[in-house]
Structure 1
Amino acid sequence: MGDARYFSSSKRGEIHELKEELNSPNKEKKKEAIKKVIAAMTVGKDVSALFPDVVNCMQAQTIEVKKLVYLYVINYAKSQHELAILAVNTFRKDTMDPNPLIRALAVRTMGSIKLEQMTEYLLEPLRRCCKDQDPYVRKTAAICIAKFFEISPDMVEDQGFVAVLKDMLSDANPMVVSNAVIALSEMQQQSGKRMMPLDEKTVSNLLLALNECTEWAQVIILDAITMYQPKDSRQAKEMIERVSARLSHVNSAVVLSAIKVIMKMMDKLNNTDMIRVMCRRLSAPLVTLLSQEPEIQYIALRDIRLIVQKRPIVLQGEVKVFFCKYNDPIYVKMEKLDVMVMLANERNVDVVVAELVDYANEVDLEFACKAVSSIGRIALKLEAAADVCVNAILELIEHRADYVLQESVVSMRDVFRKYPGKYEFVIGPLCENLESLAKPEAKEAIIWILGEYPDRIENAGDLLYSFLDGFFSETYAVQQELLTAAIKFFLKEPTKTNQDIVSKVLKACTNSSSNPDLRDRGYMYWRMLSMGDLEKCKKIVVAPLPRISDTSLLVESGLLETLLGTIGQLSSIYFIAPDELIEGTKQYEEMEDYYADASSVEDRNQNIKAVKAAMASPRNYDERTTDLDSGSEESSSSSEDEDDDDESSDSDEETPTAAVSAAAAAVTPDLPIQRFMVHPEDQRGGNGHTGLKVAAGVGFVKGVLCMELLIGNSGSTPLTGFAIQCNKNAFGLAPKSTQIAGMPDVLEPGSNVSVRVALEPNKLNSGTPPPNHPPLLLQTAIKTNVDIFYMNVPFTLYVVCEPKQLINAEQFLSLWQRCGADRQTSRMATPSQPLNPEMVIARLRQGNLFHVNTRLSKDGASAALYFGACLTNRLVVLLELVITRTLPQKVMVNVRTETPPLVNHMHYLIESLLQLKPAPKQ
């Protein structure tokens, strides 16, 4: 059994037995007892009562026993700090032991016991170890100083340990040098004071030690050298030459650190030819990094974006290296697209655009959409290549794939802004398939085009009017674009029809919108038009637009210089300054103070307090819900009456009703449908045939539940006779018709088609609960003339949640109490960006989760939000979200339901809607 036997013992009176064995004169028995104590501590048993007895064992001379005793002392020193002081004399004695391993072990343990009461007793032993003859002891002492600095910075500085570390920088042993460097760097970062003495002599010593260090020590030293400012161009050139040998190192971290030093030193070079030579020298190691594992490739690609922005000639002729491979992970592909755009120039643009067109026909929709937008970015970047890019977009539009059309509309909107009056011939093809636009960004773009070029589009007024029918189901950005486009329409052509459009939009914005920005903009336009001077209005609204440029891939110049000094570190990957990432730094504390101030301002606002107090009362909530429901009907009828009346009084125009505002806020846009590869082209059908590839996803389009499919023929035989059916499932989801609407009679080899199949629930119920683990899967079969192909289409729980609120506060409270705490599952998570209650309510509403109530903690430090969801099969899931208001923000997700298999699916849905990730275990 070996040492495993120490973990199997669990009996009464064990502590007493261990106490006797620890005080036994028999050394072997004492060693066995210590092993049992450490095993018990490891599995979570409380053995702190044995602290005095274990400390007595520190007198043992064997290093094995000392290691175990020191491990115990580190673990229990905080809870037994009075007794921990008893170990001081042993530490002092061990630092003078003839064995350097014991001396180093004592120093390491001294640094790990973070008790300020002990620190002052250990300073002299530490000082002695800093001058120890053995380098292993000295390098351990250097790290111990940094740990003591974390406990008591002033004491470390007053006792002269900073000077001791500086002396260590000239030590003969490279490991001592590297540990001194990392200790000074950590202390400098914590204090904000300059502690690293980077002068010419010190840097020369560091470069000398570089040749004998381990690879990770080399990284530490190179990172420190990055902070040095050479006196002149000659010294910078010399440093570059001495570091350049690390560009061919086998460790990628060493390579990136060497590149970082060279990039910094090149700023001091005043010889253009020398800079060009060094840029070419950096090309090979960067290209080599792209043949490493995908994770290293991603880090290299993020850093390459910074390097290319600062020195574009580094990879000027290497664009083909960044062409995507079929087996690249999606995160690597997306970064490669960005680098390709940055490296595109007049000489290689034809090759790059041709490659991007191929990517736009890929089945992976996220990748394909990014490829289309990349073509548009190149058009903005290179005026000489704009024709090539526009022709490529036109070619893609002819395929009539929804996702291509939507990205093309967004890209062409920007092209029109950049090159006004040059590419209007593209407007016609863009406007042919407006009904397939689902993404808000695409709708915004096409509405802007309609408002900007009404004279270039045949039925521009009818097209714009078609968007007004679903005005309140659109996002606020689309609504705002509709408002501006309607005003432009009227000013460019003030006909009766256009006047009706303007009147309808203005009334919707001012009388029925709950968004203050949209409402105020509506009032502004209304008052401006009421002045009667259309020419003045035209000069304001239809004024010539400034040309734009694409800077989305570029980092602000000040931040760029900071990030170039962190190549190979997290800052350069996140594109965030180090001070904003590291807790304890000055800038991090300022950000924390900012959020704290914002919270205190909100707490002092009496109006907000009153609203939250009202929401905390279930009785008040029910009354408000009743008022809202009755008010909604009245307001909708009055709104229709207003639409029939073209002219109304000023008071009517400027007095929106609260009921209509609340009703409008309840209408939420659909979540975009994400399609997944569910049937690869090499997967065989029921009879063993291949040739069908399918990407599919389930969601809502304009409130209708459907399955979106991208079907491709990858075989050599035309496919006909398409039909679709689903297997029985827990929610009864099934197609309304087995025929696939919009499917061509014949799908030729090599062609793709995008279609939607309407679904309805409770049609093919299996009578069994759903699987425990997400995602949910809808077993689907597609029949063709060649074979029947089977696939699993993933979907999330929101697809089978009723899109209307069926649970009020009283029902929620009753169900919550009936489920009880026994049926509650809780998970702690951290958001990717700060959340507030309003943001959470809006996002969960998109997932068909309806807000029931909000309660604030007494100290205002957290808010509890309650939501309910009713599934199509009448099952109910209840949710409590407790959100803290201090950094780092935490979210506690509590789910209650009488159907346990739904729990994991609800957690999965919440995490995706709010972009949560599990909180690290403490």
Structure 2
Amino acid sequence: MPYLGSEDTVRELRRALSNPNVQSDHLRYRNTILKVIRLKESDVWGQCEMLRILQRYRPQSEDELFDILSLLDGSLVSPHPQVMAATLSLFLSLCSSLPAVSLAALERVRGPLLAACGSVSREMRFTAICHIQLLLRSVPGLMGAHYKRFFCGYAEPAYIKQRKMQVLVELVNDENVAMLLDELKGYCTDVNSDTAQAAISAIGRIGRSHSDRCLEILTGLLALKQEHITSAVVQTMCDLVWVCPQYSNTVCSALEGCEETLQDSQGRQALLWLLGVYGEQVSGAPYTLEVFIDGVRSEASLGVKMELLTTTMRLFVCRPAETQDMLGRLLHYCIEEETDMCVHDQALLYYHLLHCGIEETRKVLQGRRSDPSLGVLIGRPAEPISQWACSFNTLEPLKQCSIETESASRGSPEHLTCDPKSNPDLSDTINCSRVEKVHSGDLSLSPQMEVEKDYVCLKEWVLSTAVPHCSTQSLQAAMQLVNIQTLAFTPPHTLPWRASQRTVQPRDDKALKGFLSILTTVLYTLSSEKN
């Protein structure tokens, strides 16, 4: 054992717990444990090791349990945070069937934990805050009177500030909400962009139960015209109306001009989602959307393109006269020129969906605007201590990003709560047998007919040309030899064997004949080498 001054003590405890003769005699077993508990010559790490080993012991009676707890009670308020944490972990392990005793132990360690939050060591402060978050899951009001201890210092690192803000959200109530919001508002302009965004997100979470003041702060932050602040505010508003749709009017009135400041993809996705869901309430929504569509060729984010397609379709359903032309241009680009298959396929899906009629399109696109089932984050019911007791005094609390699971991807919040199960009514909703013509010059595409024409052309070429007999593996090798990438192909044993290629260029019969000529030459070459 590397613990100076405690090696003999820890060795004695381990020997007692592993000795079959001592274990068979319960009285000797108990006396050995009590003797070790009373020893004070061990250093901090030795005491922690003994407390950890003691978790293997199970008292035989309630009287024995309380005797041990009485002997360890002083360690709950130890000036050493390590000993305090190890003692509380032992208490929670021994008192798993006595919730009242566990709650009393949590109250007992409140002072030492608050003292650890003011430690000179940053690592100690961070660890203490993370463990306080665990305790708040079962005793939400444990630190309520000491919320000022979690105000952020100017020189504190960002990771401590963000954890403190998470604790402040949990401690908010009707009495301190004004002071907490004023404090968080000051963090929104922090020089560290991550800290500023975390503060804005915290204000949004408080806004789920205290809306008026929060919306006033968020709207005021938009006037700063700073990129990272505007992005965080728009994402926070997006999350807020997803949980509390009654705030949509206030949020929509604040969106005017935000697109000029937004540069990051997540902020633009959030703005597009708001325009798509509440576009009828935003007077300038079509003009804002047109700016995105005009710049779609230079757009690098896949998420923004996908969201732009959905938003344009939704806005077309409620404001067709203003968006018909731009929808046609967007679909034309995504189907004919876009190289990303996800965007291309989604555009093709929307194109065929429009052929099913406007009512069918509306049924598919106009889904839920909110998810009130998420509830508010303030005043939630307390969790049983047993749900997190095993992770106390471990690295687990340090790895958790927050008490509540937050989505890593913002943007469209409805994607986070969608049901992955198949919808049995979807086949009835999208009934492609009832095809209605969409009269628009920009929507005069027929990619399916183009594919069929190309397939017929290839089939006639194979039947009319003396193409040497070769295996499917040779055919794939021939395509790779001339840098033709195959998107998909049927199994080798199926007849006829098919392979799918795609080009982003418009249909060109001359280019198609050149492709067939090159492919024939390569096949002949492979066949001659084989012979």
Give the TM-score taking structure 2 as reference length: 0.66
Number of the residue aligned with 1:536: 360
| Aligned residue among 123, 126, 137 for 1:309 | 137
| Aligned residue among 640, 646, 651 for 2:443 | 646
Q: How far apart are the structure 2 equivalents of 1:482 and 1:547?
A: 25
Shift of residue 257, structure 1, vs aligned partner: 1.3
Shift of residue 523, structure 1, vs aligned partner: 3.1
Q: Higher helix share goes to which structure?
A: 2
SS in 1 for 2:215: helix
| Aligned residue among 320, 332, 348 for 1:494 | 320
Unaligned 5+ residue runs, structure 2?
Answer: 402-439, 455-531
Number of the residue aligned with 1:290: 117
RMSD between aligned residues? 3.9
SS in 2 for 1:312: coil
Per-residue CA shift, 1:272-325, capped at 9, x if unaligned? Answer: xx5554332221111011121111101112222222223323323222111111
Deviates most, 420-429 or 365-374: 420-429
Per-residue CA shift, 1:460-505, capped at 9, x if unaligned? Answer: 101011112232524122122111111111122232x422233333
Shift of residue 252, structure 1, vs aligned partner: 2.1
2:206, 2:377 within 8 Å by CA — same for their partners in 1?
Answer: no
Number of the residue aligned with 1:836: none
Number of the residue aligned with 1:745: none
Per-residue CA shift, 1:131-154, capped at 9, x if unaligned? Answer: xxxxx9xx98xxxxxxxxxxxxxx
SS in 2 for 1:565: helix
1:442 aligns to 2:267 (yes or no): yes
Q: How far apart are the structure 2 equivalents of 1:337 and 1:564?
A: 23
1:563, 1:572 within 8 Å by CA — same for their partners in 2?
Answer: no
Number of the residue aligned with 2:82: 253
1:334, 1:370 within 8 Å by CA — same for their partners in 2?
Answer: yes
| Aligned residue among 194, 208, 214 for 1:366 | 194
Taking structure 1 as reference, are residues 486 and 269 closer, same or farther at Cα in structure 2, changes over 3 Å only? Answer: same
Q: How far apart are the structure 2 equivalents of 1:374 and 1:538?
A: 35
Percent of pairs with identical residues? 21
Number of the residue aligned with 1:59: none
- Equivalent positions of 1:77-92 (< 5 A) are none
Number of the residue aligned with 1:221: 50
2:84, 2:109 within 8 Å by CA — same for their partners in 1?
Answer: no
1:563, 1:571 within 8 Å by CA — same for their partners in 2?
Answer: no
Q: How far apart are the structure 2 equivalents of 1:513 and 1:368?
A: 36
**What is the number of equivalent residue pairs in this alignment?**
402
Q: How far apart are the structure 2 equivalents of 1:299 and 1:412?
A: 31
Taking structure 1 as reference, are residues 256 and 278 closer, same or farther at Cα in structure 2, changes over 3 Å only? Answer: closer
Q: How far apart are the structure 2 equivalents of 1:339 and 1:484?
A: 37
Number of the residue aligned with 1:269: 98
1:510, 1:653 within 8 Å by CA — same for their partners in 2?
Answer: no
Q: How far apart are the structure 2 equivalents of 1:203 and 1:465?
A: 78
1:327 aligns to 2:155 (yes or no): yes
Give the TM-score taking structure 1 as reference length: 0.39
Q: Higher strand share goes to which structure?
A: 1
Counterpart AA for 2:116 = L
Number of the residue aligned with 2:229: 404
Q: How far apart are the structure 1 equivalents of 2:445 and 2:125?
A: 63
Taking structure 1 as reference, are residues 445 and 550 closer, same or farther at Cα in structure 2, changes over 3 Å only? Answer: farther
SS in 2 for 1:319: helix
2:47, 2:83 within 8 Å by CA — same for their partners in 1?
Answer: yes
2:78, 2:112 within 8 Å by CA — same for their partners in 1?
Answer: no
Q: How far apart are the structure 2 equivalents of 1:435 and 1:181?
A: 72
Per-residue CA shift, 1:106-138, capped at 9, x if unaligned? Answer: xx9xxxxxxxxxxxxxxxxxxxxxxxxxxx9xx
Number of the residue aligned with 1:476: 302
Taking structure 1 as reference, are residues 427 and 279 closer, same or farther at Cα in structure 2, changes over 3 Å only? Answer: same
Q: How far apart are the structure 1 equivalents of 2:184 and 2:327?
A: 41
1:181, 1:224 within 8 Å by CA — same for their partners in 2?
Answer: no
1:233, 1:270 within 8 Å by CA — same for their partners in 2?
Answer: no
1:177 aligns to 2:12 (yes or no): yes
Per-residue CA shift, 1:362-406, capped at 9, x if unaligned? Answer: 3332212211111112223xx2x1222212212322333332221
1:424 aligns to 2:249 (yes or no): yes
Number of the residue aligned with 2:513: none
Q: How far apart are the structure 2 equivalents of 1:211 and 1:486?
A: 73
Q: How far apart are the structure 1 equivalents of 2:339 and 2:36?
A: 66
Shift of residue 250, structure 1, vs aligned partner: 3.0
Shift of residue 550, structure 1, vs aligned partner: 8.0
- Equivalent positions of 1:686-765 (< 5 A) are none
1:209 aligns to 2:6 (yes or no): no
- Equivalent positions of 1:158-197 (< 5 A) are 174-178=9-13
SS in 1 for 2:124: helix
- Equivalent positions of 1:878-893 (< 5 A) are none
Deviates most, 214-223 or 395-404: 395-404
Number of the residue aligned with 1:300: 128
Q: How far apart are the structure 1 equivalents of 2:67 and 2:449?
A: 77
SS in 1 for 2:257: helix
Q: How far apart are the structure 2 equivalents of 1:558 and 1:266?
A: 16
Per-residue CA shift, 1:648-706, capped at 9, x if unaligned? Answer: 11427879x9xxxxxxxxxxxxxxxxxxxxxxxxxxxxxxxxxxxxxxxxxxxxxxxxx
Taking structure 1 as reference, are residues 278 and 368 closer, same or farther at Cα in structure 2, changes over 3 Å only? Answer: same
Shift of residue 234, structure 1, vs aligned partner: 6.8
Shift of residue 219, structure 1, vs aligned partner: 1.0
Number of the residue aligned with 2:517: none
Q: Name the structure, 1 or 2, with higher relative contact order (CA <8 Å, separation 6+).
A: 2
Taking structure 1 as reference, are residues 276 and 573 closer, same or farther at Cα in structure 2, changes over 3 Å only? Answer: closer
2:334, 2:344 within 8 Å by CA — same for their partners in 1?
Answer: yes
Q: How far apart are the structure 1 equivalents of 2:233 and 2:122?
A: 30
1:252, 1:289 within 8 Å by CA — same for their partners in 2?
Answer: yes
SS in 2 for 1:325: coil
